[in-house]
């Protein structure tokens, strides 16, 4: 069974540009989560989708970040315009149930904003 996949694996963009990250969850997983780890900090929760609905977006840092999951399958996270402090690793995770231990993490997208 394929795991959680994320695209791209790396992205280098200039401040002010737009970047869209994609996450494909494990097939059949209704729950999809976005996390990020900025340099020197801990991994932080961004938001949680149940199918196409945002269940919890309390961790989204500001309105430059927009997450979507149209159709309840893959999800995108767009950063527009990107700032230097957005650099970090963005992880996606998916699960069938809502328990933390059920989540499978993707390999992450390493974003560098210069």
Full DSSP string of 47-113: EEEETTEEEE-TT--STTEEEE-GGGS-EEEEESS--GGG-EEEEEEEESSS-GGG-EE---EEEEE
Query: Minimal distance in Å, beta carbon 44 to another protein?
Result: 7
Query: Minimal distance in Å, beta carbon 23 to another protein?
Result: 12
Give phi and psi for 84, each to the nearest 5. -55, -40
Contact between 106 and another protein by CB under 8 A: the answer reads yes
Q: How far apart are CA 27 and CA 11, in angstroms?
A: 25
Contact between 7 and another protein by CB under 8 A: the answer reads no
CA count, 13 A, side-chain hemisphere, 63: 0
Contact between 105 and another protein by CB under 8 A: the answer reads yes
Closest to 39 (Cα-Cα) out of 1, 86, 88: 88
Which listed residue (50, 59, 78, 81) binds another protein by CB under 8 A? 59
Query: Minimal distance in Å, beta carbon 90 to another protein?
Result: 11
Which listed residue (49, 91, 94, 111) binds another protein by CB under 8 A? 91
**Residues 36-55: x where in contact with another protein by CB under 8 A, - otherwise, as a string:** -----xxxxx----------
Task: State the residues that interact with another protein by CB under 8 A.
Answer: 35, 41-45, 56, 58-59, 91, 99-101, 103, 105-108
């Amino acid at each position: 069974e394929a795991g959680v996949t994320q695209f791209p694996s790396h992205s280098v963009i200039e401040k002010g540009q737009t970047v869209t990250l994609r996450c494909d969850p494990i097939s059949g997983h209704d729950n999809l989560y976005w996390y990020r780890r900025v340099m020197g900090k801990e991994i932080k929760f961004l938001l949680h989708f149940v199918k196409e609905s945002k269940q919890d977006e309390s961790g989204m840092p500001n309105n430059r970040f927009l997450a979507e999951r149209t159709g309840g399958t893959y999800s995108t996270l767009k950063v527009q315009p990107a700032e230097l402090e957005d650099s970090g690793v963005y992880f996606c995770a998916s699960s069938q149930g809502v328990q933390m231990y059920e989540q499978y993490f993707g390999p992450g997208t390493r974003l560098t904003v210069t």
